[in-house]
């Protein structure tokens, strides 16, 4: 990336979105610690079921919704460098700043609602909510902010469609999946709420948010694959086959855009019919992801030039980089989470084991590694390179232990979304796995906190670097950079900022 091509306003906006996303991840980690320690035998930090369920809703909201979409907004802003010249630039800049402001205000309201502890928590899957006006207004405000960033990115992507790099194309596909989530939520609300009779029962939030939750999974995985490719480029893995990768990326919105249709051809409240469709959507999510993983593996094998016995430095020349450990743990955690798919063991702790592998593990640790890679490229030096090297390992190992504990307890029948698990565990078989879960959660929180602190200091305090300097090409130890290989591996297109 050349500094003369960098729009300072766009760079500052990317810094703002990164700051927002990482701060929300820190909030999610604090809430996760409270939830995990309450579930751990003999600990129970939260005093009541009401407080536990409210904090659980807050944790899921910040960890699975706000953090993921906030980081994608940062990537959309990063992909917008240098394209605001000419007519409409002032309007787009205002839209960009307004989006960040709305997202921050919305998250502030959500956090206030969670900490106040008022309202009734609804622990529906994918998008749990608190039935309280401030929470819903905050959610809507946050969503408007994300949509502003999305529209701005798509508008610029359409204008430069023929020059998009593979990474930017992947982000366009992720944005299309987010639009599918918005469409599914809109249709669900308009078809379910007007005819709902409060005398019959509570609002069927599970049915309302089912489609949006599935579509967001497609968006997260598409963005995670973009991160995989960037991390692979950082450790000198050659570029994957462009045609095959673009076709695989295109499958994500192709499947995700079918989700709103399900709300039109089915009765939205008929969850069994939607659940059967969910199995098909799970297959649709797995196919392109397996293709991307196979393409990366093929490129890595070509780079390794295997000999027998294999030599690690030859297989992975840049292994002493945070991108390497982040990529390895992201692939591992996502694979384990996929194997723990929740069609079996529904209602038990197998389900959170699944999404802690796929989203909390695979997506989050990929975004962590990508943050270390992006910071120097937007003018910020990584504060502690040593901490950046070891933090993904601590976080990844902690999640592996946590998933093992959750999966073990789930196999023994331990229920999910239950405040009394820790108390009940004293007399039943899942005492040991729940303790293991608590140990893993503690390590994961330490690793997550290390990332948040290191990244926030890098954004707010650490020295600035020239984005055109050699220091901006690497966060590894001095002398380990390979800027030419990075430029070769990161894609093509003069306006594709993730490809420069």
Match 């969850």 to its residue by tokens: 271
pLDDT at 307: 45
Report how far apart, in Å, the C-alpha atoms of 91 and of each of 8, 9, 10, 85 are. Answer: 16, 13, 13, 11
CATH code, 29: 1.20.1410
Is residue 153 assigned to a domain? yes
Is residue 465 assigned to a domain? no
Is residue 433 assigned to a domain? no
pLDDT > 90 fraction of the chain, expressed in percent and rounded = 43
Is residue 254 assigned to a domain? no
Are residues 443 and 390 in contact, defined by beta-carbon separation less than 8 angstroms? Answer: no
What b/e readout covers 119-151, taking b as 16+ CB neighbours within 10 angstroms? bebbebbbbbbbebebbbebbebbbebbbbbbb
Higher pLDDT, 473 or 186: 186
Q: What is the arithmetic mean of pLDDT over 455-466?
A: 80
Residue 274 pLDDT greater than 70, yes or no: no
Higher pLDDT, 194 or 157: 157
Report how far apart, in Å, the C-alpha atoms of 82 and of each of 3, 94, 431, 459 are. Answer: 10, 16, 56, 21
pLDDT at 419: 64
Higher pLDDT, 159 or 323: 323
Question: In terms of residue numbers, what domain contains 53?
Answer: 1-157
Per the DSSP assignment, residues forming a β-bridge with 120 are 131
pLDDT at 82: 38
Report how far apart, in Å, the C-alpha atoms of 189 and of each of 135, 186, 256, 274, 323 are. Answer: 17, 5, 18, 16, 41
Is residue 175 assigned to a domain? no
Q: What is the arithmetic mean of pLDDT over 483-487?
A: 35
pLDDT at 84: 38
pLDDT at 363: 93
Instruction: Share the mean pLDDT of the chain.
Output: 80
Report how far apart, in Å, the C-alpha atoms of 165 and of each of 76, 109, 498, 500 are. Answer: 13, 37, 7, 9
Tens-place pLDDT, residues 322-338 = 999 999 999 999 999 88
DSSP 3-state assignment of 18? helix
Residue 254 pLDDT greater than 90, yes or no: yes
Q: What tokens were used for 479?
A: 């002398």
Residue 6 pLDDT greater than 70, yes or no: no
**If you ran DSSP here, which 8-state letter would residue 498 be given?**
G
Residue 86 pLDDT greater than 60, yes or no: no
pLDDT > 70 fraction of the chain, expressed in percent and rounded = 76
Q: What is the arithmetic mean of pLDDT over 134-161?
A: 92
pLDDT at 202: 76
pTM of the model: 0.86
Is residue 51 assigned to a domain? yes
Are residues 326 and 366 in contact, defined by beta-carbon separation less than 8 angstroms? Answer: yes
Lowest-pLDDT range of 33-37, 111-115, 238-242, 461-465:
461-465
Domain count, the chain: 1
Residue 201 pLDDT greater than 50, yes or no: yes
Is residue 402 assigned to a domain? no
Tens-place pLDDT, residues 122-145 = 888 788 999 999 999 999 999 999
Is residue 296 assigned to a domain? no
Higher pLDDT, 97 or 171: 171
């Amino acid at each position: 990336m050349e500094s003369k091509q960098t729009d300072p306003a766009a760079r500052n906006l990317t810094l703002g979105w990164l700051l927002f996303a990482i701060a929300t991840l820190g909030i999610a980690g604090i809430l996760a610690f409270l939830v995990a320690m309450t579930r751990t035998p003999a600990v129970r930090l939260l005093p009541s079921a009401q407080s536990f369920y409210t904090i659980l809703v807050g944790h899921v909201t910040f960890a699975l919704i706000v953090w993921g979409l906030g980081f994608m907004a940062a990537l959309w802003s990063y992909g917008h460098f240098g394209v605001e010249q000419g007519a409409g630039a002032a309007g787009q800049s205002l839209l960009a700043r307004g989006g960040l402001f709305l997202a921050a205000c919305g998250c502030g309201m959500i956090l206030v609602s969670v900490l106040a502890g008022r309202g009734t928590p609804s622990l529906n899957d994918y998008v749990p909510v608190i039935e309280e006006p401030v929470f819903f207004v905050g959610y809507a405000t946050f969503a408007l902010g994300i949509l502003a960033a999305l529209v701005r990115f798509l508008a610029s992507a359409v204008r430069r469609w023929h020059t998009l790099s593979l990474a930017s194309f992947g982000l366009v596909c992720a944005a299309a999946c987010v639009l599918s989530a918005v469409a599914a939520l809109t249709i669900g609300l308009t078809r379910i709420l007007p005819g709902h009779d409060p005398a019959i029962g509570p609002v069927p939030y599970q049915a309302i948010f089912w489609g949006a939750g599935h579509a967001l999974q497609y968006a997260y995985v598409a963005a995670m694959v973009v991160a995989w490719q960037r991390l692979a480029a950082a450790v000198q893995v050659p570029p994957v086959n462009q045609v095959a990768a673009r076709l695989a990326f295109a499958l994500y919105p192709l499947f995700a855009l079918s989700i709103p249709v399900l709300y039109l051809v089915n009765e939205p409240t008929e969850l069994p019919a939607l659940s059967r469709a969910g199995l098909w959507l799970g297959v649709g999510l797995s196919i392109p992801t397996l293709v991307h993983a196979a393409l990366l593996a093929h490129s890595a094998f070509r780079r390794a030039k295997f000999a027998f016995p294999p030599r690690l430095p030859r297989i992975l020349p840049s292994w002493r980089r945070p991108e390497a450990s982040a990529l390895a743990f992201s692939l591992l955690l996502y694979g384990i989470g996929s194997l723990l798919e929740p069609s079996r063991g529904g209602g038990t702790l197998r389900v959170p084991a699944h999404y802690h592998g796929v989203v909390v593990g695979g997506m989050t640790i990929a975004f962590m590694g990508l943050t270390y890679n992006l910071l120097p490229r937007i003018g910020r030096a990584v504060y502690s390179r040593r901490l950046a090297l070891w933090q993904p390992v601590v976080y990844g190992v902690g999640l592996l232990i946590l998933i093992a504990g959750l999966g073990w307890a789930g196999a023994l029948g331990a229920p999910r979304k239950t405040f009394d698990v820790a108390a009940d565990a004293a007399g039943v078989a899942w005492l040991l796995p729940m303790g293991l879960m608590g140990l893993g959660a503690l390590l994961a929180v330490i690793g997550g906190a290390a990332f948040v602190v290191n990244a926030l200091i890098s954004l707010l305090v650490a020295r600035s670097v020239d984005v055109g300097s050699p220091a901006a090409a690497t966060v590894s130890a001095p002398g380990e950079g390979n800027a030419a290989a990075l430029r070769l591996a990161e894609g093509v297109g003069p306006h594709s900022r993730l490809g420069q």
